[in-house]
Structure formats: C-alpha cells, structure tokens
Amino acid sequence: MENSNISVEILDWYHLTENIYKVEAKKGDLEQLKSYLWMGEVSDALTFLRKLKPVGGHNFSKYLKKHRSRIINYHSFQWQQICSIGSGAVESAVKQIAHRVKLTGAQWKKENVPHILQLRCTYLNGQLAI
C-alpha cells in the first residue's frame, strides 16, 4: 500500500471571523455571512455581500476570493473531527521550536533544523521507538 499523505491548507476560522467583523453591517447580516462561511459556501457569501453592499464589503469580498481555496466547510471538519479549525496550537508549537533553536549558546546550522523538526514530529506522533 502506498503512503499517500494529503495536506490541505485551511484558513484559520478565527482569522476569518476577525475579518468578517471589519464589514459594517447589521448584526443579523453579519451572522448570515458567518453562517455561509461556516458551511464553506463562499459563492453564497460573495453573492450576499454583492446584494448587501455594506461598507467594507468590497475589501472582504477580495479577501474571500484570495483565500477561497483555503476556506473549507468548517462545520463538517469540526463535526467529523478531521482537524482543528484554528491555528493556535500550531502557532504555539512554532514559537516553542523557534525559542529552542535560538537558545543561548546553541549553534545550529540552518541545514540541520529540518532534521531536528522531523525527529520531533516523529516522536510526537508516537512513531519513534525509544
């Protein structure tokens, strides 16, 4: 059997909602927009924005178009527990690793860092025999 690792780049739900609230519209309209995006319905969200014509709607439409391929059905992914819909845990891990690589007195060669990261991932995934 072939090992087929599939990666899907996902736009963090919390970053997406931060941008929703840059649109100046009634609370109910923002909730409708949020609902479309929660279900991954980008086309419906864009149509809704086009009809609504709120202040900030044009910029948000451009944002949605730019990130369209990264907007998933967040509801389905969360319900099926496919992955986290937020990037907080990943961002935290990156900061921890960056801190460890920059330890006082440590001398890292740029080409060695990916090897250390690979070992760390293998360990965290329970794939390293100790």
73 with 92, same domain?
no
Q: Answer yes or no: is 6 within a domain.
A: no
| C-alpha dihedral, 53 to 33 to 84 to 15, nearest 10° | 30
The mean pLDDT value for 23-36 works out to: 96
Q: Is 127 exposed, middle or buried (0-12, 13-18, 19+ CB in 10 A)?
A: exposed
Structural domains counted in the chain? 2
Backbone angles phi, psi at 40, to 5 degrees: 80, 15
20 with 63, same domain?
yes
74 with 102, same domain?
no
Q: Answer yes or no: is 130 within a domain.
A: no
User: Which domain does 108 fall in, by range?
Assistant: 88-124
Give residue 23's identity as a one-letter amino acid code.
Answer: V
75, 39 in Cβ contact below 8 A? yes
64 with 109, same domain?
no
115 with 58, same domain?
no
pLDDT (tens digit per residue) in 96-114: 666 666 666 666 677 877 8
Range from 27-31, 60-64, 96-100 carrying the lowest mean pLDDT: 96-100
